Amino acid sequence: MPFLFSFLVVLLMITALVDIIRREDSQVRFLPKLAWVIVVILLPLIGSLLWFGLGRDYGDAGIPLPNLRRAPRTAPSAGPAAPPAPPRDTRTTEQQIADLDREIEEWRLREEVEKRRAQRETDGDHDVKGEA
């Protein structure tokens, strides 16, 4: 019986080490991969259980698991629903800067047009007063 337990611990340790090594850094939580390898080697049973329980990110990769997260509790609301979130701006920084430059140029041109209109009106008033 002790042989079987030892064999299972070694098998679990090897499985954990292979899993740690094959995972990308973004799928490892709480410690770097090298630290997880050291923990699993020094503490085979506990380290392997910690790896599969805490260190591994079960997000998109790996075995498909049911959603283990609880749905957020929402109180029944008597009022209107919250407005939807505004759409994200998917333009590049260069496109955003070009749009801002166009807006600034448009604003400048509008100011120039308003200035010329005001100048024409004042010039027209002088001409009418001068004829009378």
Rounded Cα–Cα distance for residues 40 and 28 (Å): 14
Q: Which of 26-40, 65-79, 118-132 has the lowest mean pLDDT?
A: 65-79
Percent residues over pLDDT 70 in the chain: 77
Displacement of CA 92 from its chain's centroid (Å): 16
User: Which pLDDT band holds residue 67 (cuts at 50, 70, 90)?
Assistant: low
Q: Residue 46 corresponds to which tokens in the numbers above? A: 């506990």
Nearest to 45 by CA among 20, 8, 80: 8
In three-state secondary structure terms, 50 is helix
44-62: per-residue pLDDT in tens? 898 889 888 888 777 755 5
The vertex-53 CA angle with 47 and 41, nearest 5°, equals 15
99-108: per-residue pLDDT in tens? 999 999 999 9
**pTM (whole model) above 0.95:** no
Whether the pLDDT of residue 116 is over 70: the answer is: yes
Rounded Cα–Cα distance for residues 97 and 109 (Å): 18
- Mean pLDDT of the residues in the chain: 80
Displacement of CA 47 from its chain's centroid (Å): 31
Cβ within 8 Å of residue 118, ≥6 positions away: none
The reported pLDDT for the residue numbered 73 is 58
